[in-house]
Amino acid sequence: MRTIIAFPSSHAAMEAELLAEDAGYACRLIPLPPAIHAGCGIVLLCEHSVILQVADLLAAKRVPTDGVYDKNGDTWHRRLDS
């Protein structure tokens, strides 16, 4: 399963990738999947097993996020608590 974290800005996304990498998490920026939003953007793709830790890390560092999404088949679902 693929899991991503979305952001309100590209600057926040780039900051998030640096923080996640520095903390040793296997994450990378990818283009915003069109199925989530038709606009431009970049999101942080993470291993499903570490997504909560990464989200906590970003919250602690006050990096603004715009939802966590899981991909099941061809469909992305936003987590209700994100």
Partner 1 sequence: MTKEIDARGMSCPRPVLLAKQALADAADNGLRVLVDNPDAAENLKGLGTSLGYAVQAAPYEEKDFIVTFSKGKPIETVVKESPVANDTYLVVLQGDEMGQGDAAFGKKLLEGFIYALTEQDELPTYVVCYNKGVTLTTLNDKTVADLNTLMDKGVQVLSCGLCLDYYGLKEKLRVGQVTNMYRICELMRSHPVVKP
Residues that bind partner 1 (CB under 8 A): 10, 14, 17, 28-31, 42
Nearest C-alpha neighbor of 52 from the set 81, 18, 11, 10: 81
Rank residues 2 and 64 by Cβ distance to partner 1 and give the closer one.
2
User: Of 35 and 59, which has the nearer Cβ to partner 1?
Assistant: 35
* 9 vs 56, beta carbon nearer partner 1: 9
DSSP state at residue 49: G
Output the smallest distance, CB 2 to partner 1, in A. Answer: 11
Q: What are the Cα distances from residue 53, in Å, to 16, 40, 49, 75?
A: 12, 26, 9, 23
